[in-house]
């Protein structure tokens, strides 16, 4: 009991002291204070308010990201875990479609979901309330609808209250007006459907024009028109790009002598490009608004400064760079901490049209290095994407690229990447930068870290990595890229397949690499053949591409796989564009001799002779004479080889005679036409 009284007594003290290394520190100041109590007494600090998820956040902070596991939303049977961009998008949206189906039944059949046994009670699991004149008895129903951001129900309940004559306070009307202005009197898409927003191609602004005959305009006329009401209306009209309505409301507010709010001036600055088109006139208009803010006793905030910078981004203006630096200096004077979006806007001003000023990115990274970032402005999600793009296209500095990437991976900064498109763009620029500046082994280590769980490379990134492997000569990574091309369903990209086969067939690699390469290239070959059989439009093969397939298989001494290519060349001779190189076919003949497979040898010779190669007949004759001299060709096969060569010579003689005949006929026709023209001239 004595201990309990002592603890309660200490808890009521005005200051709390913590014992640390025999020295007490005050939690309210940084000044050291000597202990007033015995050193062995226990001092209980004041209770700190915690959120419902603070414990979970603390536990999560002890764990690092597992790059070998897929994202939690893709967790499934290993066979069904998506890998390509298309399958990832389909998987996530399919799960979200299931949530939509559940929401549909909850809203349309509420009588089936009356039993909600969740503890604590989860309101989202309750069926939606259907408001009627019977159950709307007070303004609390309207307050609940506004808190739930349900526009349609809010309008319905307000009309019911007005019909019943139930009074609604001005504060509640102001809350309703702000809700209607923010959403333009239309029911917004539910926040539950995160994946739809994440996989949206771009972040589009509001497409709807301001509803000048909507509920917001009616409510504004009915309520007391003060500064807050005008502020909500002006902000709503500016958000939905109705500059005329916003200016007229602002003029009305000034005529009534009402002071503006910071939100009003921020909204007007954001649409300054709609009000004034010329850059200088736009800047003068912004200065005028800032002067009005000062006269109203208002201080600019982060949104004000970012809106000014956005006005500099729109349109080319030679003074935009020095003025943007002045804005940044003013932010420091006013002790407004710039957001990441502020630095994004600076990059857009300095680098949008000319990359010669891209060195400003070094100064920006010096300011941001080692900081945990938070989303404080809508433009914050564009910084990392733009910074990596500037680093790639202008500076090509891999150390700066690593600095940007390390900042992204610091704590929870990855949440500033934005949606799926921005995330893909960032990694595309990052890997293209590494392809141009980094060693191949380190590049592939980073590649294997992020692919495929964190990022699935676009075709342009895959092509850049294959070209980097080919250029560096580090072909041990080529089987991995063959596997990923097959895995990510990029086998039908002609440029990727051409670059891949050029690298695969350029030389004979070491035994391990060549064996893996032959197996992976064979899987690609079979995949393309299956695609041609299943679909109406087959894959467009070319002779050069099949020649590279042939060379890769022959470098691995795989006769059967090489034979499949030769057979395809002969069977689809009239649908394949072009022919493989002469030396590839000769090498296949040598491989057939080595394996004593004379039927395949004759088949290849017939294909080559019939394909009208200019030098193939001479090369085959040389090869045949060598075979006869070295007695590599059995006696019974020699007449067949001679017959093939004889048919080739006969075909060439016939083609020569046909060409001579056609030329002689054309010359005789020309002479006869000249003879006919001469008597006509004499008659005339």
Model pLDDT for residues 213-228, shown as the tens digit of each residue: 889 999 999 999 999 9
3 state DSSP class of 138: coil
Please say if the pLDDT value at position 579 is more than 50: yes
The encoded tokens of residue 509 equal: 């690699």
605 or 181, greater pLDDT: 181
The pLDDT score that the predictor gives to residue 603 is 86
The encoded tokens of residue 191 equal: 């926040």
Burial 338-372 (b: 16+ CB within 10 A, else e): bbbbbbbbbbbbbbeeeeeebebbeebbeebeeee
Separation between Cα atoms, residue 409 and residue 411, nearest integer Å: 6
The pLDDT score that the predictor gives to residue 228 is 94
3 state DSSP class of 18: strand
**DSSP structural state of residue 12:** T
CB-based contact 161:168 (threshold 8 Å): yes
Please say if the pLDDT value at position 663 is more than 80: no
This prediction's pTM? 0.84
CA proximity to 507, closest of 465, 475, 545: 475
The pLDDT score that the predictor gives to residue 78 is 81
Mean pLDDT, rounded, for 7-25: 36
Task: Kindly report the average pLDDT of the chain as a whole number.
Answer: 84
CA angle (641, 643, 646) in 5-degree steps: 110
Separation between Cα atoms, residue 279 and residue 316, nearest integer Å: 8
DSSP state string for 249-264:
HHHHHHHTTPPP-HHH
The pLDDT score that the predictor gives to residue 673 is 47
Please say if the pLDDT value at position 652 is more than 70: no
3 state DSSP class of 599: helix
197 or 642, greater pLDDT: 197
CB-based contact 382:344 (threshold 8 Å): yes
Separation between Cα atoms, residue 666 and residue 401, nearest integer Å: 68
Q: Please, which pLDDT band fits residue 24 given cuts at 50, 70 and 90? A: very low
CB-based contact 19:25 (threshold 8 Å): no
Separation between Cα atoms, residue 310 and residue 566, nearest integer Å: 62
Mean pLDDT, rounded, for 544-561: 93
Separation between Cα atoms, residue 432 and residue 443, nearest integer Å: 10
CA proximity to 588, closest of 618, 557, 613, 612: 557
Q: Please, which pLDDT band fits residue 359 given cuts at 50, 70 and 90? A: very high
Strand partners, 33: 24
**DSSP structural state of residue 394:** I
Say how many CA atoms lie within 13 Å of 648 toward its Cβ.
Answer: 24
The pLDDT score that the predictor gives to residue 110 is 87
The pLDDT score that the predictor gives to residue 383 is 96
Domain ranges of the chain: 77-125, 129-192+208-258, 261-337, 338-438, 467-539, 540-644
Q: Please, which pLDDT band fits residue 412 given cuts at 50, 70 and 90? A: confident
The pLDDT score that the predictor gives to residue 647 is 66
Q: Please, which pLDDT band fits residue 645 given cuts at 50, 70 and 90? A: low
The pLDDT score that the predictor gives to residue 596 is 80
Mean pLDDT, rounded, for 169-174: 94
CA proximity to 264, closest of 232, 241, 290, 295: 232
Q: Please, which pLDDT band fits residue 411 given cuts at 50, 70 and 90? A: confident
CB-based contact 235:267 (threshold 8 Å): yes
Please say if the pLDDT value at position 206 is more than 70: no
Q: Is the dihedral of CA 187, 190, 195, 197 positive or negative?
A: positive
The pLDDT score that the predictor gives to residue 499 is 95
**First CA to last CA distance, the chain:** 143
- The percentage of residues in the chain with a pLDDT greater than 70, rounded to a whole number, is 85
User: Residue length, the chain?
Assistant: 684
Please say if the pLDDT value at position 4 is more than 80: no
The pLDDT score that the predictor gives to residue 612 is 58
Mean pLDDT, rounded, for 254-280: 93
CA proximity to 546, closest of 584, 599, 517: 584
Please say if the pLDDT value at position 31 is more than 90: no
**How many C-beta neighbours within 10 Å does residue 598 have?**
16
Strands of 17-20's sheet in order across: 17-20, 23-26, 32-33
Separation between Cα atoms, residue 557 and residue 564, nearest integer Å: 13
The pLDDT score that the predictor gives to residue 441 is 95
Q: Please, which pLDDT band fits residue 611 given cuts at 50, 70 and 90? A: low
3 state DSSP class of 613: coil
The encoded tokens of residue 198 equal: 């994440």
**Residues 482-527: tens digit of each pLDDT:** 999 999 989 989 999 999 999 999 888 889 999 999 999 999 999 9
- SS3 of 457-525: CCHHHHHHHHHHHHHHCCHHHHHHHHHHHHHCCCCCCHHHHHHHHHHHCCCCCCHHHHHHHHHHHHHHH
**How many C-beta neighbours within 10 Å does residue 190 have?**
13
**Residues 117-139: tens digit of each pLDDT:** 888 888 878 888 889 999 898 99
Please say if the pLDDT value at position 156 is more than 80: yes
CB-based contact 553:518 (threshold 8 Å): yes
The pLDDT score that the predictor gives to residue 677 is 45
**Residues 445-484: tens digit of each pLDDT:** 999 999 999 999 999 999 999 999 999 999 999 999 999 9
């Amino acid at each position: 009991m004595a201990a309990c009284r002592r603890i309660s007594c200490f808890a009521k003290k005005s200051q709390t002291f913590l014992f640390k290394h025999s020295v007490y520190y005050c939690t309210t100041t940084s000044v050291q204070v000597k202990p007033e109590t015995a050193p062995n007494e226990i001092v209980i600090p004041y209770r700190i308010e915690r959120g419902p998820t603070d414990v979970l956040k603390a536990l999560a902070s002890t764990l690092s990201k597992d790059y070998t596991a897929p994202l939690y939303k893709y967790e499934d049977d290993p066979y069904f875990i998506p890998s390509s961009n298309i399958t990832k998008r389909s998987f996530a949206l399919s799960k979200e479609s299931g949530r939509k189906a559940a929401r549909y039944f909850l809203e349309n059949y509420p009588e089936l979901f009356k039993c909600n046994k969740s503890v604590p009670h989860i309101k989202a699991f309750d069926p939606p309330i259907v408001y009627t004149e019977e159950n709307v008895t007070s303004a609390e129903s309207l307050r609940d609808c506004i808190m739930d951001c349900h526009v349609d129900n809010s309008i319905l309940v307000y009309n019911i209250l007005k019909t019943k004559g139930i009074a609604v306070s001005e504060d509640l009307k102001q809350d309703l007006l702000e809700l209607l202005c923010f959403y333009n009197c239309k029911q917004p898409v539910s926040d539950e459907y995160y994946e739809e927003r994440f996989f949206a191609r771009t972040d589009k602004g509001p497409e709807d024009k301001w509803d000048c005959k909507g509920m917001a305009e009616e409510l504004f006329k009915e309520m007391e028109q003060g500064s807050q009401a005008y502020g909500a209306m002006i902000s709503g009209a500016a958000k939905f790009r109705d500059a005329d309505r916003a200016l007229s409301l602002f003029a009305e507010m000034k005529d009534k002598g009402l002071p503006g709010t910071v939100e009003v001036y921020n909204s007007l600055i954001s649409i300054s490009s709609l009000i004034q088109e010329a850059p200088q006139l736009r800047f003068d208009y912004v200065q005028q608004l800032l002067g009005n803010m000062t006269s109203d006793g208002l201080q600019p905030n982060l949104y004000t400064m970012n809106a000014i910078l956005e006005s500099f981004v729109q349109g080319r203006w030679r003074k935009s760079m020095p003025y943007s630096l002045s804005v940044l200096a003013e932010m420091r004077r006013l002790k407004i901490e710039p957001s990441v979006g502020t630095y994004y806007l600076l990059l857009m001003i300095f680098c949008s049209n000319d990359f010669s000023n891209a060195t400003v990115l070094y100064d920006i990274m010096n300011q941001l290095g080692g900081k945990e970032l938070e989303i404080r402005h809508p433009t914050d999600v564009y910084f990392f994407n733009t910074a990596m793009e500037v680093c790639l296209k202008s500076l090509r500095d891999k150390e700066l690229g690593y600095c940007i990437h390390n900042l992204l991976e610091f704590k929870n900064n990855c949440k500033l990447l934005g949606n799926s498109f921005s995330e893909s763009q960032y990694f595309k620029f990052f890997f293209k930068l590494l392809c141009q500046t980094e060693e191949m082994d380190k590049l592939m280590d980073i590649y294997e870290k992020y692919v495929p769980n964190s990022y699935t490379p676009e075709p342009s990134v895959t092509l850049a990595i294959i070209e980097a492997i080919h250029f560096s000569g580090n072909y041990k990574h080529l089987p991995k890229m063959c596997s990923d091309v097959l895995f990510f369903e990029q086998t039908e990209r002609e440029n990727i397949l051409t670059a891949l086969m050029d690298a695969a067939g350029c030389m004979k690699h070491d035994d391990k690499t060549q064996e893996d390469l032959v197996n992976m290239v064979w899987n690609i070959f079979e995949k393309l053949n299956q695609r041609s059989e299943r679909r109406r439009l087959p894959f467009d093969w070319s002779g050069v591409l099949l020649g590279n397939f042939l060379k890769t298989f022959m470098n691995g001494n795989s006769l059967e796989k090489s034979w499949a290519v030769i057979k395809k060349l002969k069977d689809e001779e009239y649908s394949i564009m072009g022919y493989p190189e002469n030396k590839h076919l000769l090498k296949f003949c040598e491989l057939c001799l080595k394996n004593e497979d004379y039927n395949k040898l004759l088949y290849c010779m017939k294909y080559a002779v019939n394909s009208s190669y200019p030098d193939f007949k001479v090369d085959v004759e040389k090869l045949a004479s060598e075979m006869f001299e070295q007695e590599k060709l059995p006696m019974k096969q020699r007449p067949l080889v001679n017959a093939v060569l004889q048919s080739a010579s006969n075909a060439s003689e016939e083609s020569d005679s046909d060409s001579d005949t056609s030329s002689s006929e054309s010359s005789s026709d020309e002479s006869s036409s000249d003879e006919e023209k001469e008597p006509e001239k004499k008659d005339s």
